[in-house]
Structure 1
Amino acid sequence: MKIQLALDRLKIAEAIDLAKKVEDSVDWIEVGTSLIKEFGVTSIKELKNAFPTKTIVADVKTNDNARYEFEMCFEAGADVATVMGVSPLVTIDICMEVAAHYNKKVMIDLLNTSEQQKLELQKYKDAIFCLHVSKDQQEEAGMANRGTADNKFSVGLQIAAAGGITLESLEQLKATVNPEVVIVGGAITKAGNPSEAAFQFKQKIAEIEGK
């Protein structure tokens, strides 16, 4: 399991500084939606410039205007960009087309998608699918657990998991969803010692996968 560090609710310089502290323990660096909304594609450019060898994920959460937004993300240096699974399929088609042109990847965020939508989305074999428990669900409703329907969805697809992931939840996550990527935000970024927290995630994953 790769670790994707989610950077949100920060200034660009703060995000870079924090990522430098943990870069040896994480694989992918996510330019969070709040960073992109506040600072635009400059945030993507600066994170890619600071970490040229890391996979940079632009969590732009595209719903429409796909060609413009995805070209903008990839031109700025993103390696992966996100689109919402509830978008019209034509929007996701465009995202896949643009990503193929740039030799980049699409992550489809499954937040609030229906079971029927998930079935329709499975045709995008080259995409990464993100099983996502939202920030609002975590903070307001305490819903950090993923349902069995999501677990079934993961078979044979590239899966990322996001939302309230902790050291303690990694083993169950591996057993049920078996994601290729775990997206970790607050458990690292809000830790007293982010470097140590990230290292613990890396070690825990190595331990789980070594069993």
Structure 2
Amino acid sequence: MKKKLQVALDLFKTEDALEILEEVADYVDIIELGTPLIISEGARVVKTVKDKYPDKIVFADIKVMDGGNVVPKSVLEAGADMISVLAASDDSTIKGAIRIAKEYGAKVLVDMCSVKDIAARGKEIEAMEPDYICVHVGYDIQETGADPIEELRKLEGVSCAKAIAGGIKLDTFAEAVASPAEVIISGGGICNQKNRRETAAKMREIMDSYLQK
């Protein structure tokens, strides 16, 4: 299985995102433009980042909850390679997001944030054929000690490619890489570190070493 490292840029200004990317882009596969950044800067940040890093997968974390075939248009037209839709939204919303993403040649990640019955909802979403299902321990509940790796186990019967997010740092990265997730997402685990480049490089080394086994 080819695994990917995704950096989550949950910032507010394009210039701050670009500053971090100067340090870490060489080591990541996917650049996530986080929800706060998209809300603050709009679709133009997608174009700016895609123009600067055309070989990277640019993921617009827009967390669609309604208007699945309408809301994603601006970021898709700006060059997003992947978008997110919330698993808690109506099935028609998820299907709409998948449909419009395909029209633009983009992928869809369904975010399981705040879903109570991950196993049951995972099976329902699997039938819709998204590109990824993401087990996501949200920012507001990370302090409760919820573990995304534990949550991921609830999707053992789901065949979709999986992503994992929520408090993943360097000291837990090896465990995350060894999980069934194809995409490992780290936000503050990279962006809030004193030496971001070194942290991202170490994560890449851990991932590459695992894949060579």
TM-score normalised over the length of structure 2: 0.91
For residue 43 of structure 1, the aligned residue among 45, 53, 63 is: 45
Q: Deviations over 1:68-98 (max 9, x none)?
A: 2112121011000000001100001101111
Tell me how large the CA RMSD over aligned residues is.
1.6
Aligned counterparts of 1:47 and 1:144: Cα–Cα separation in 2: 31
Retained in 1: the 8 A contact 2:126–2:159? no
Deviations 1:42-86 (A, max 9, x none): 221211122111100000000001222112121011000000001
1:152 is displaced (CA, Å) by: 4.0
Shift in Å at residue 161 of structure 1? 0.5
What does residue range 1-211 of structure 1 map to in structure 2 within 5 Å? 1-113=3-115, 114=117, 115-138=119-142, 140-147=143-150, 150-154=152-156, 155-175=158-178, 177-211=179-213
| Counterpart Cα distance in 2 of 1:89 and 1:59 | 19
Query: 2:8 aligns to what SS in structure 1?
Result: strand
Shift of 1:202: 0.2
Contact 1:56 1:79 in 2 (8 A): yes
- Is contact 1:16-1:50 (8 Å) kept? no
* Secondary structure of 1:68 counterpart: coil
Aligned equivalents of 1:91, 1:125: Cα separation in 2: 13
Aligned length: 208
Moved more, 63-72 or 112-121: 112-121
Distance change >3 Å, CA 156–CA 118, structure 1 → 2: closer
Letter of the 1:104 partner, please give it: A
Identical-residue share of aligned pairs (%): 32
CA contact (8 A) 2:177 2:184 kept: no
Q: d(CA) in 2 for partners of 1:156 and 1:141?
A: 29
Q: CA deviation at 1:164?
A: 0.7
What is the rounded CA distance, in whole Å, between the counterparts of 1:69 and 1:16 in structure 2? Answer: 25
8 A contact 1:133–1:146 mirrored in 2:
no
Query: Measured at CA, do residues 196 and 112 of structure 1 come closer, stay the same or move farther in structure 2, by a change above 3 Å?
Result: same
Q: Distance in 2 between matches of 1:36 and 1:174?
A: 28
Unaligned runs of 5+ in 2: none
Q: Is the 8 A contact 2:136 2:148 kept in 1?
A: no
Q: Distance between the aligned counterparts of 2:149 and 2:27, measured in 1?
A: 25
